[in-house]
Chain A
Amino acid sequence: MTGTKKFIYKVFLLGAIIIGSVWVFNKIYIAQTYPYEYLGGMLNDKHALAQKTPSPKVLWVGGSSGSFGINSDSLQKNLDLPVVNMSFIAPLGTYFLLNDALKEVKKGDKVFVSTEYDIEKYSTPQVIYSAVDYYPEGSIYIEKDTTIVDFIGHRVKHKLANVSKLFWNVFSKNDAVNANIEDNTSVYFRSAFSPKGDIISHVNNTPKKVDFFLFPRAPINYSKQIDDLNYFVGEVRKRGAEVYYVFPPLAESTYNYGKVAVESVEKQLNEKLNCNILGTAKDFVRKDSSFFDSFYHLKPAGRDHNTEQILELYKQTQTKR
């Protein structure tokens, strides 16, 4: 075999150089974007916030509907407990969101959990790999790849996407770099949150166009999500904390469009969830004009109204006791 050794040597050398470069570029990209990255920053900052907040406390767990939908100051004032809004984003999936939040549950806490109707159990690869770049602890929540091809494919694609982003950042800086709460355009950046974890970057912004119909219409099988919720409920109770389920706020047009889907989830939750559910799905349907950039994301005024209603429903459960 003429040249076989030469070929193998060169393939390995070039391969090593390329893999090494991709690894280095990934490290540079993560270090460069860490100060302003929305998802990774939020995960680290909200965990830090939860860890430094003394228990008993109120912990809000779920997707971004909670970040936009809760006025933590109002909650704190009415419940007389410090509040940590640990809502992240629904694409992370229930498995990630709920298990990750368990780390911060302590004895005496009141935990409110709210999951979006169309949330999945597991995160999509591109979302979770982006998250764990900045929050490596989250890697245990990655869905196990069924084949070696998926395993390689997902990881390689993500690493290459980071290299590509690093390259393009040279030409046009990420909008999040210079974003701040006072400006009237940016929403998703690391410092977009109040000291309690509510998103406040959109307060001065003009609302964006919402596609109210980007929602399932058929019944949703929520059993895997309920399994995660019930595990979460059990673990929270073991830690000596209380737990309540709250429906996410939803735009009226979306509700009417996907009523079958919403009712199917509500029915399954009522039948199988092992904790108190505050109100009904319909109680959290709000006017379309209350939403900012998604049918789950409330404007500040809508958030206050939503929080009042949650408090009202919470008080009713306490009275019944």
Chain B
Amino acid sequence: MIFNSIEFAIFFPIVTLVYFLLQHKHRWWWLLATSCYFYMFFKPEYILILGFTIVIDYFAGILIEQSEGRRRKWYLVMSLIANIGVLAVFKYYNFFTLAIGEAGLARLPMLKILLPIGLSFHTFQAMSYTIEVYRGNQKAERHFGIYSLYVMFYPQLVAGPIERPQNILHQFYTKHTFDYDRVTSGLKLMAWGLFKKVVIADRLALFVDKVYDHPLDYQGIPIIVATIFFCFQIYCDFSGYSDIAIGSAKVMGFELMKNFDRPYFSKSISEFWRRWHISLSGWFRDYLYIPLGGNRVSTYRRYFNLFFVFTMSGLWHGANWNFIIWGALHGFYLIAAIVLAKPRNFINKITGITKVPFLFKIIQVSITFALVAFAWIFFRGTYLELSWTWHLVTHLFTGLPSLSEFMHLDYISQYVFLDKGAKEFFLAIALIIFMEVIHYMQRGKSMREWISNKPTIIRWGIYYLFIMMFFILGVFDSPAQFIYFQF
């Protein structure tokens, strides 16, 4: 079931209403049953895979807690192998089989299977549980139903945030009552998430798809326009999903972790990764980067750690060379940032740019955005042949028009507005600006709080305008899937 569907509009109020009507002791099974239904709505049989990892990790957690020494480690390794094994079979087997075949090393049979929705998300969440039990940060969960719910809780089941057991497990034991402020705050967050998805992301997709569906037909300006739009499309798509997930959990009383924090205001790539997909970045930091030695190693080892972790992050997104290059590119950016720190400081000093903090910040944010945008070409190109993505990368600045050509209406209509018309183009730009202004205003205080403190007539006027804007500007032709579902 996807959040921007009629089915979810029916599912959510029923689940929430019954949740509050039930006695606390019965709520876990209601949430578990409805989460199963939510997941099975996509492809019912894949719940068996989820069931497999749940059973393995449930017992692994208990055995890890009850054991000591090597045996304890052994149970953790077994659990990790089971989880990674599922990923390896369903997500990576065909990719590596193809790569091995193309390299002429061996001819292995391909599997005719579809990737279960959200596999990487719930597998990583499950792994985080056994690792935390192993580290002694989390007690093994004895209640099988509650543990299953930890993995399957429907708001974050298919696209995160990837929760830690310390944050969420105890919340299933807490009795949540109907709290007006919390419920309305959750609903407002859901509405904002839905707005970002249906109004902004799906509208921007009209432009992005035009170029990325026929990459060989374009060079220069249209690729730049589509790529910039894709930056905001993927942000609105994924952060929109996270907002709906966090909001729907909040309505029922659960606090999920923040997954995005205005990432395009980042002044460096490392800051970007502290603000983008926070739950995944944290996962890789805590369970891969730090165990590899993190920053407390030699310089070259640190470079390797960064490059390896980000390449793995790319691979996490999908079994595709484009994702791997995307991840590796971010690893490369971070290494370059360390290597070039001294020359950058020197340039800053001789230009005196740091004395104008606002301008300095704008330059930093712009450079970071440009680097991130460039890497997104590979990410969006995952639907394409690698050579086609390469065409986009190598033709980013070719075929640029002369000023007189650029001023020609036909050129603008075809290559800037991408045949969607001035109205659609400027609407897309206006929506991006609108969203970023909201983000900027939210630096100090949440917009939801700001609205809540206004007189009723203004508050209701804002709600009304927001809902009508959603209806008027939303793209409702067919409920588009969320991009991150494929992971």
Determine if A149 and B10 form an interchain contact, defined as CB atoms under 8 angstroms apart.
yes
Interface segment, one of A15-23, A101-109, A173-181: A15-23
Complexed CA–CA distance, A153 and B476 (Å): 10
Contact with B along A189-216 (1 / 0, CB 8 A): 0000000000000000000000000000
CA distance A3 to B181 in the complex (A): 8
Is B105 engaged at the interface, CB distance under 8 Å to the other chain?
no
- Bound-complex Cα distance A3 to B187 (A): 15
CB contact list, A65-97 vs B, under 8 A: none
A127→B178 CA distance, assembly (Å): 44
CB–CB B423/A171 < 8 A: yes
Verify A164–B6 contact, CB threshold 8 A: no
Report chain B residues within 8 Å CB of A149. 6-7, 10
Q: In the docked arrangement, what's the CA distance between A4 and B20, Å?
A: 10
Q: Please report whether the interface of chain B is mostly helix, strand, loop or mixed according to DSSP.
A: helix
Residue of A nearest to B180 (CB): A3
Please tell me the number of chain B residues within 8 Å of chain A, measured between CB atoms: 22
Known: A7-B183, A153-B6. A164 touches B178 (CB 8 A): no
Contact A3 B467 (CB under 8 A): no
Query: In the complex, how many angstroms separate the beta carbon of A112 from the nearest chain B beta carbon?
Result: 36
Is A319 engaged at the interface, CB distance under 8 Å to the other chain? no
Complex Cα distance A163/B10, Å?
23
With A3-B179, A7-B178, A7-B183 as known contacts, state yes or no: A18 contacts B472, CB within 8 Å.
no
B382 within 8 A of A: no
CA distance A161 to B464 in the complex (A): 17
Q: Give the distance in Å from the alpha carbon of A2 to the alpha carbon of B179 in the complex.
A: 6
CB distance B472 to A7 under 8 Å? no
> Can you name the residue of chain B whose Cβ is closest to the Cβ of A172?
B423
With a cutoff of 8 Å between Cβ atoms, the chain A residues found around residue B295 in the complex are: none
What residues of chain B lie closer than 8 Å to A160, measured between beta carbons? 471, 474, 476
Question: B184 touching A7 by the CB < 8 A rule?
Answer: yes
Contact A2 B472 (CB under 8 A): no
Q: Which residues of B contact A167 (CB under 8 A)?
A: 472
CB of B178 within 8 A of CB of A4, answer yes
Pick the residue among A2, A17, A152, A157 that contacts B464 (CB under 8 A). Answer: A17
> What B residues does A156 contact at CB under 8 A?
6
Q: What residues of B have a CB within 8 angstroms of the CB of A148 in the complex?
A: 10
- Does B177 lie within 8 Å of A18, measured CB to CB? no
Give the nearest-CB partner of A154 in chain B: B6
The reply to whether B180 and A6 form a contact with Cβ atoms under 8 Å apart is yes
Residues of A contacting B15 in the complex (Cβ-Cβ under 8 angstroms): none
Does B463 reach chain A (CB closer than 8 Å)?
yes
Q: Which residues of A contact B181 (CB under 8 A)?
A: 3
B460 CB–A CB distance under 8 Å = yes
- Are A2 and B423 in contact, CB atoms less than 8 angstroms apart? no
Nearest-neighbour CB distance to chain A for B466, whole angstroms, equals 11
Number of interface residues of A (CB under 8 A): 25
The reply to whether B472 and A164 contact each other, CB–CB distance below 8 Å, is yes
Which residues of chain A from 3 to 55 have any CB-CB distance to chain B below 8 Å in the complex?
3-4, 6-7, 14, 17-18, 21-22
Residue B334 lies at the interface, judged by CB distance under 8 Å to chain A: no
Contact in complex: B476, A157 (CB < 8 Å): yes
Give the nearest-CB partner of A149 in chain B.
B6
Q: Which residues of A contact B177 (CB under 8 A)?
A: 1-2
Cβ–Cβ contact B464 & A18, under 8 A: yes
Contacts of B384 in A (CB 8 A): none
Interface-central residue, B7, B463, B471, B473, by most chain A CB under 10 Å: B471
Give A14 to B471 CA distance when docked, in angstroms: 15
Taking a contact as CB atoms under 8 Å apart, the answer to whether A21 and B180 are in contact is no
Complex Cα–Cα for A204 and B377 (A) = 47
- Asked if A7 contacts B180 (CB within 8 A), the reply is yes
Residue in chain B with minimal CB distance to A5: B180
Closest to B474 in A: A160
Min Cβ gap B192→A in Å is 16
Which of B455-470 touch A at CB < 8 Å? 460, 463-464, 467-468
Q: How far is A25 from B310 in the complex, measured between Cα atoms in Å?
A: 51
Contact of B460 among A7, A14, A21 (CB under 8 A): A14
Beyond A17-B464, A149-B10, A153-B6, whether A163 also contacts B472 by CB under 8 A is yes
Chain B residues with CB below 8 A from A172, complex form: 423
CB of B180 within 8 A of CB of A22, answer no
0/1 string, A122-158, CB within 8 A of B gives 1: 0000000000000000000000000011001100110
- Docked CA distance A157–B178 (Å): 32
- What residue of chain B has the Cβ atom nearest to residue A22's Cβ? B471
In chain B, residues 148-191, which have Cβ atoms closer than 8 Å to a Cβ of chain A?
Answer: 177-181, 183-184
With A7-B180, A171-B423 in contact, is A152–B6 under 8 Å at CB?
yes
B476 touches A161 (CB 8 A): yes
CA distance A2 to B178 in the complex (A): 6
Chosen A-B contacts, 23 in total, with CB atoms closer than 8 Å, are A1-B20, A2-B177, A2-B180, A3-B178, A3-B179, A3-B181, A3-B183, A4-B178, A7-B180, A7-B184, A14-B460, A14-B467, A18-B468, A21-B468, A22-B471, A149-B6, A156-B6, A160-B476, A163-B472, A164-B471, A164-B473, A171-B423, A172-B423
Beyond A1-B178, A17-B464, A164-B473, 13 additional contacts (C-beta under 8 Å) are A1-B177, A2-B178, A2-B179, A3-B183, A4-B178, A6-B180, A7-B183, A149-B7, A160-B474, A160-B476, A167-B472, A168-B423, A172-B423
B: residues with CB less than 8 A from A are: 6-7, 10, 20, 177-181, 183-184, 423, 460, 463-464, 467-468, 471-474, 476
Q: Which 4 A-B pairs have the closest CB atoms?
A: A3-B180, A1-B178, A153-B6, A167-B472
